[in-house]
């Protein structure tokens, strides 16, 4: 179980731009452990950024394979200092977020991205990602820059929706 809880909008810490990670140290390992715990504790979560837990470091955990509709993916990944180095296409997608639990909204994202990052062993990697997995990563990278999906909603009047609650 994670030591920290997900920060909820309008918590100002969600708007802070995260700093780069210089190496794998005790703090980095603690953040990775917390991110992995959240991903395992919350079955519907396909991604979480360190900033959502109050850590101001450029680390995210993603696992697009947790969405049954996403058949083309790289599975569970820790991304340290992730950076989109190229992108193509445009896709509109209905997004939600654990930090904004009451709403979903339509957001435009790149359809394909080339991503540079360090893995949990601090080995530099590059990947081409597309579709749902690329959307998830763009959403999580926005968190590292202090941007929420509600900041990117196409139209707050027509493309922001109250999430249904189920009893």
Catalytic residues: 140
Q: Which two tokens stand for residue 140?
A: 């999580």
The residues, ordered by sequence, that sit 6+ positions from 26 with a Cβ below 8 Å of its Cβ are: none
Coil, helix or strand for 51?
A: helix
Q: CA-based angle 49:122:14, to the nearest 5?
A: 15
**Contact (CB, 8 A) for 143 and 49:** yes
């Amino acid at each position: 179980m994670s030591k920290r809880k997900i920060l909820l909008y309008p918590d100002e810490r969600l708007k802070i731009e995260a700093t780069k990670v210089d190496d794998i140290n005790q703090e980095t390992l603690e953040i990775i452990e917390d991110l992995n715990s959240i991903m395992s504790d919350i079955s519907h979560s396909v991604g979480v950024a360190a900033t959502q837990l109050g850590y101001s470091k450029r680390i995210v955990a993603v696992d697009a394979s947790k969405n049954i509709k996403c058949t083309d993916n790289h599975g569970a990944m820790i991304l340290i200092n992730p950076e989109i180095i190229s992108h193509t296409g445009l896709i509109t997608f209905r997004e939600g977020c654990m930090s904004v639990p009451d709403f979903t909204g339509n957001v435009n994202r790149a359809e394909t991205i080339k991503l540079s990052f360090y893995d949990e062993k601090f080995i530099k990697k590059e990947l081409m990602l597309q579709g749902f997995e690329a959307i998830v990563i763009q959403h999580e990278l926005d968190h590292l820059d202090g941007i929420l999906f509600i900041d990117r909603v196409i139209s707050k009047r027509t493309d922001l929706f109250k999430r249904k609650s189920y009893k």
